[in-house]
Structure formats: structure tokens, C-alpha cells
């Protein structure tokens, strides 16, 4: 998986995975509640649930020839197989909690490649493992309703585009205001089309929004929507890039904020869908912060307490209260926009 690396000077480097595994082993490695499952490579048939056949062939050839279309996502020979491994790992995580056993929480490390479109790579993402996993759960395993919660600092425009007309997937996307950050999509008015109208819910937070803003968005929008939709499973994706020290975003989450995200998704899953929760964790661009935020997400999602201290000093004691008035305004606008679809 370390081959999912875009080279020196690029913000997405493959050493992130080893950094996380080392911290996980140090903090949680002795806990028998956790099982390590080796990922597998996604097959062509699985990728074709979402991606065009011509695109897959073009991507394989592009990686072989170092020739891509997106300058932010440079291709190289080992990248396509690494992307397949991430997709296969995300599918495995989802399938591992479908049985009647005790396993109800799973984590796909490296997952959350939410910018990839049906026929184009984008934003460091080759294949959309979030969409492929959800599509397999629906088309192969017969699940009827899937809730995807995207908490990455960037809107999941690829995932939104793929499911924009599909009511079998409710996408709730909490992200930084897209007028201030890539990909420039994910505005409140983007609610889906056709049969999928109302099943895309964007919650664009202002730059500077912090833990309390996420708490409000989760409590005021995510929880009631999840309870009304009654999904068969919840898939959450997103890594550490909403952290206050991340270089590619301007949100201000602390480690406690990441624990909160995990805990709120666990609360919803335990109440609504027999505890079935998958967390796909791959993003983040501050090497010092990334493993701690990833572990905080896992701690919150499992309820397993772990002592974590911020690796970088907080810039202000007021960080938890930053931009609350603007957040409340956004939440009010979202409720107004979707009230014809949902009982909020």
C-alpha cells in the first residue's frame, strides 16, 4: 500500500500508512478486540460496478507510461495496483461486518478516495473505493439503503456525482466551504437529481470552524437524517485534513473533534443499523498529526479509550468556539433547503 505515493514534494506520500501502523501498535496493538485483516486487490468486475471499462484500461496504460490527465495526480507504474489494493481493503472492511457474528465496526486504512469519477482520476484519487464498496453492498449483497458520511475537509465530489440520481445512497458531506477550497463543489443547493433528489446533503462549514461546529452539524443534521433514513450500514470516510495544523485545509478540528466524529457515527450505527459502521481513513497532509487523528477516529468509533496528546500546540484556547455563528447560519440554510425531503 505504501506504493500509493505521488512522489517527493507531493502532499500525499505513502509513508503515512507505516506511521499510523506504528502508533496503532504502540497504543492499541495489545487489545484483543482488534483483528488485523489483510487487504486484497479489487477485481475488474468490482471496479466496473462504478468505473468505465475504457477508463480502467486508460489508467493502467497511463500508469505504465507515466501519463495522466490530472496534474495533481501524477501516475507511475506501481500506482494502479496500489489503488486496487485500497479499494479491495475497503470492500473487505464492508463485507467483514455483514455476517451474524460480533464484528460490527471495521476500518479501511487508506480508503476514502472520494474525488475519483466514473471515468477520470482527480484530487489524488484513482478509483473511488467509497462508491465501489457501496455499490457492491447494494448490487451483490442486496443492501437497500446505505448512508455515507464524508467528513474530509474537501467535498466528496466524485462520490456525489456517482450517486447523484440514486436514492439507495444518502450522502451527508461535512466539509470546508467549497468557495474557499478544492474541488469547488459541495454547495448547499447540490441536493441530487431525479430519484436521487434530496439524497445529497452538503454541509459547507466556514474556514476556522472547529470541534463545536462539527458537533452541531452531527447533532442537528446527521443524527436526525440517519434516524429517518434507517440505513442498513453507515460508511464514514475522511482522515486528518480538517485538523487545525493540516496544510491543505482551513478547518480547526482538534483530536477531540476526531474522537467526536467517531463517537457520533458509532452512536447512530448502534441505534439504527445493528452497529454496522465502516470507517475509511486515508487523507491528511501533516505528517505529525495524521496518525494521531486517525487513531482518534478509531477510538471514537469503537469506544476504546486511548490517551492522545496533540502533537502540535493549539493556536488558541478559543479554538472550540471558532465560527459558531456562521456554522449555525449554514445549518439553518441546509435545513431550509432539504425540509421538503426530510422531517427536520
pLDDT tens digits for range 94-134 = 999 998 777 899 999 999 999 999 999 999 999 999 999 99
Domain boundaries, the chain: 15-338
Of 51, 124, 76, the closest CA to residue 282 belongs to 124
Q: What is the pTM of this model?
A: 0.97
Torsion angle in degrees (nearest 10) through CA of 284, 289, 292, 297: -40
Using an 8 Å Cβ cutoff, are 246 and 16 in contact? no
Q: Is the peptide bond before 183 cis (omega within 30 degrees of 0)?
A: yes
pLDDT reported for residue 68: 86
CA-CA distance, 156 to 159, in Å (whole number)?
6
pLDDT reported for residue 30: 84
CA-CA distance, 243 to 214, in Å (whole number)?
12
CA-CA distance, 115 to 124, in Å (whole number)?
8
pLDDT tens digits for range 169-209 = 999 999 999 999 999 999 999 999 999 999 999 999 999 99
Q: Please report, in angstroms and rounded to a whole number, the separation of the first and last CA atoms in the chain.
A: 42
Using an 8 Å Cβ cutoff, are 286 and 15 in contact? no
How many C-alpha atoms does 280 have within 13 Å on its Cβ side? Answer: 31
At 313, is the pLDDT very low, low, confident or very high (cuts 50, 70, 90)? confident
pLDDT tens digits for range 12-70 = 999 999 999 999 999 998 899 999 999 999 999 999 999 999 999 999 999 999 988 89
100: left (phi over 0), alpha (psi -120 to 50) or beta: alpha
Instruction: List the catalytic residues.
Output: 115
Looking at CATH, the fold of the domain delimited by 15-338 is given as 3.40.800
Q: Which triple of cell numbers denotes residue 210?
A: 472547529
pLDDT reported for residue 325: 92
- Percent pLDDT > 90 in the chain is 93
pLDDT at 317 over 60: no
Between 239 and 344, the higher pLDDT residue: 239
Amino acid at each position: 500500500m505504501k506504493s500509493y505515493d505521488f512522489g517527493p514534494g507531493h502532499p500525499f506520500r505513502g509513508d503515512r500508512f507505516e506511521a499510523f501502523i506504528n502508533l496503532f501498535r504502540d497504543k492499541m496493538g495489545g487489545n484483543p478486540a482488534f483483528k488485523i485483516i489483510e487487504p486484497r486487490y479489487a477485481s475488474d468486475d468490482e471496479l466496473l460496478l462504478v468505473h468505465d471499462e475504457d477508463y480502467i484500461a486508460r489508467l493502467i496504460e497511463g500508469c505504465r507510461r507515466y501519463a495522466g490527465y490530472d496534474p495533481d495526480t501524477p501516475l507511475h507504474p506501481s500506482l494502479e495496483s496500489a489503488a486496487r489494493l485500497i479499494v479491495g481493503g475497503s470492500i473487505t472492511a464492508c463485507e467483514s461486518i455483514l455476517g451474524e457474528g460480533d464484528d460490527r465496526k471495521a476500518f479501511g486504512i487508506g480508503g476514502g478516495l472520494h474525488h475519483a469519477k466514473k471515468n477520470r482520476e482527480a484530487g489524488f484519487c484513482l478509483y473511488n473505493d467509497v462508491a465501489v464498496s457501496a455499490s457492491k453492498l447494494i448490487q451483490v449483497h442486496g443492501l437497500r439503503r446505505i448512508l455515507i458520511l464524508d467528513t474530509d475537509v474537501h467535498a466528496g465530489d466524485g462520490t456525489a456525482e456517482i450517486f447523484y440520481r440514486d436514492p439507495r445512497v444518502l450522502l451527508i458531506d461535512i466539509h470546508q466551504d467549497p468557495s474557499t477550497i478544492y474541488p469547488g463543489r459541495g454547495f448547499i443547493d447540490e441536493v441530487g437529481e431525479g430519484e436521487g433528489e434530496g439524497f445529497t446533503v452538503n454541509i459547507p462549514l466556514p474556514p476556522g470552524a472547529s470541534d463545536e461546529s462539527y458537533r452541531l452539524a452531527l447533532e442537528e443534521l446527521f443524527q436526525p437524517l440517519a434516524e429517518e433514513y434507517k440505513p442498513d450500514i453507515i460508511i464514514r470516510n475522511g482522515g486528518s485534513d480538517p485538523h487545525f495544523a493540516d496544510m491543505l485545509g482551513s478547518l480547526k478540528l482538534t483530536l477531540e473533534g476526531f474522537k467526536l466524529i467517531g463517537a457520533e457515527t458509532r452512536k447512530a450505527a448502534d441505534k439504527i443499523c445493528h452497529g454496522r459502521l465502516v470507517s475509511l481513513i486515508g487523507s491528511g497532509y501533516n505528517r505529525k498529526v495524521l496518525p494521531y487523528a486517525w487513531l482518534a477516529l478509531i477510538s471514537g468509533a469503537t469506544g476504546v479509550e486511548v490517551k492522545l496528546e496533540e502533537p502540535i500546540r493549539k493556536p488558541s484556547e478559543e479554538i472550540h468556539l471558532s465560527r459558531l455563528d456562521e456554522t449555525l447560519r449554514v445549518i439553518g440554510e441546509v435545513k431550509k433547503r432539504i425540509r421538503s425531503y426530510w422531517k427536520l
